[in-house]
């Protein structure tokens, strides 16, 4: 059976012990009648994703379908054993402050958008080349975050989403656009999306793959249903959110670690004052 090979970040990650069948990767693989191979990781960088692609390259057959959820290009795989701690927002999650300091120093002095952009183009160039050399079906790139990558036409063997999951779908679900303020660092949704939008996303990806059309993330999704009031609605919680994540979300109000996290987000990491 051909495989649906999904690799990405928290937008495609599935917990081993939480197999709600409405999560979009599970719906999609069911519609395609493929076997699912999902190697996504919360918080990972593009380098981690491409590392997996390099490792698995010879195992991917021309009958398989690759779906790559392309995370933010400014995440950096700093330490080999922590591929999930890749951006300034995760500094407070390092258990050893020494490594948090090293990471902060990197982000403050060394990282810059030009280098990130160049690396994105190199990655996509490699992927286009690998798809050609190995005769893969055109890999589908779903942008988790809006980012510059040149023109679609520069990569004729790849398919790109129009729009991104963060800006066009996830953030748009909230009446209040400030994600961290609303969720207090603990998003209670599966893959940052309400389940009604999982349904829509799965159908859109399916059609995009079957009908060879562009995956349009800019329209057709439910919007504006989340705010501080609706997040207390039993109906919404039951129909749209992850029970486990919602429980963790409620706990964050009592958890000082997350309070610290939110305060840091408010202050801005690189404010020298």
Partner 1 sequence: MTNKLWVFGDSFSFLFEGDKSERIWLLQAASKLNYSIVNYSLRGCSQDFTWQVMQQEKDKITPDDQVLVVLTHPSRYWLFEEEPDHTIPRLFKEEKPGVDSRIKAAELFFRYIQRPQLDVLSVINRLGWLDHTATRNGWKKPLVVLGFGQYYGEDSDFPGLKFSYGDLTSISMDENEDNKDASLFNGAEPRYNHLCLSNHDILAEKIYDTLANDEKLDLTTGFKKGVFNKTTARSRNLAEKEFSLALHLGFLNATN
Residues that bind partner 1 (CB under 8 A): 47, 50-51, 54, 77-80, 99, 102, 105-106, 108-110, 112, 114-115, 118-119, 121-130, 132-133, 154-156
Residues sharing a CB contact under 8 Å with residue 150, sequence separation 6 or more, in sequence order: 121, 124
* Nearer of residues 9 and 47 to partner 1, judged by Cβ: 47
* Nearer of residues 211 and 272 to partner 1, judged by Cβ: 272
Nearest CA among 222, 224, 217, 219 for reference residue 164:
217
What's the min distance (Å) between Cβ of 53 and partner 1? 10
* Nearer of residues 136 and 258 to partner 1, judged by Cβ: 136
Nearest CA among 190, 205, 165, 228 for reference residue 20:
190
What's the min distance (Å) between Cβ of 51 and partner 1? 6
* Nearer of residues 118 and 146 to partner 1, judged by Cβ: 118
Report CA-CA distances (Å) from 11 to 58, 69, 94, 188. 26, 7, 22, 13
What's the min distance (Å) between Cβ of 258 and partner 1? 27
What's the min distance (Å) between Cβ of 76 and partner 1? 8
What's the min distance (Å) between Cβ of 164 and partner 1? 22
Q: Are 38 and 6 in contact (CB under 8 A)?
A: yes
Q: In what order do the strands lie in the sheet with 65-70?
A: 35-38, 3-7, 65-70, 140-143, 159-164
Nearest CA among 143, 145, 231, 217 for reference residue 181:
231
* Nearer of residues 99 and 222 to partner 1, judged by Cβ: 99
What's the min distance (Å) between Cβ of 44 and partner 1? 13
* Nearer of residues 122 and 228 to partner 1, judged by Cβ: 122
What's the min distance (Å) between Cβ of 67 and partner 1? 19
Q: Phi and psi at residue 193, in whole multiples of 5°?
A: -135, 140
Give the CA radius of gyration of the chain.
Answer: 19
* Nearer of residues 55 and 213 to partner 1, judged by Cβ: 55
Residues sharing a CB contact under 8 Å with residue 162, sequence separation 6 or more, in sequence order: 214, 215, 216, 217, 218
Q: How far apart are CA 202 and CA 30, in angstroms?
A: 10
């Amino acid at each position: 059976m051909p495989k649906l090979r999904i690799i990405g970040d928290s937008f495609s990650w599935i917990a081993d012990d939480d197999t709600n069948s409405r999560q979009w990767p599970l719906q999609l693989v069911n519609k395609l009648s493929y076997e699912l191979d999902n190697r996504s990781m919360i918080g990972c960088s593009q380098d981690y994703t491409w590392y997996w692609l390099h490792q698995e390259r010879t195992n991917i057959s021309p009958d398989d379908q690759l779906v790559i959820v392309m995370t933010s290009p400014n995440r950096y795989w700093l330490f080999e054993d922590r591929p999930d701690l890749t951006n300034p927002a995760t500094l407070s999650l390092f258990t050893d402050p020494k490594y948090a300091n090293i990471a902060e120093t990197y982000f403050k002095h060394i990282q810059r958008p030009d280098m990130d952009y160049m690396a994105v183009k190199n990655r996509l160039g490699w992927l286009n080349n690998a798809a050609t050399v190995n005769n893969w079906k055109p890999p589908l790139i779903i942008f988790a975050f809006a980012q510059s990558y040149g023109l679609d036409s520069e990569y004729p063997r790849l398919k790109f989403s129009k729009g991104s999951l963060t800006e066009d779908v996830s953030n748009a679900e909230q009446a209040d656009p400030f994600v961290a303020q609303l969720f207090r660092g603990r998003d209670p949704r599966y893959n940052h999306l309400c389940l009604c939008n999982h349904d829509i996303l799965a159908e859109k990806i399916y059609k995009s793959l079957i009908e060879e059309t562009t995956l349009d993330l800019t329209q057709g999704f439910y919007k504006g249903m989340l705010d501080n009031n609706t997040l207390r609605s039993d109906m919404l919680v039951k129909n749209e959110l992850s029970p486990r994540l919602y429980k963790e979300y409620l706990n964050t109000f009592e958890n000082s670690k997350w309070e610290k996290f939110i305060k840091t987000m408010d202050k801005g990491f690189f404010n020298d004052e």
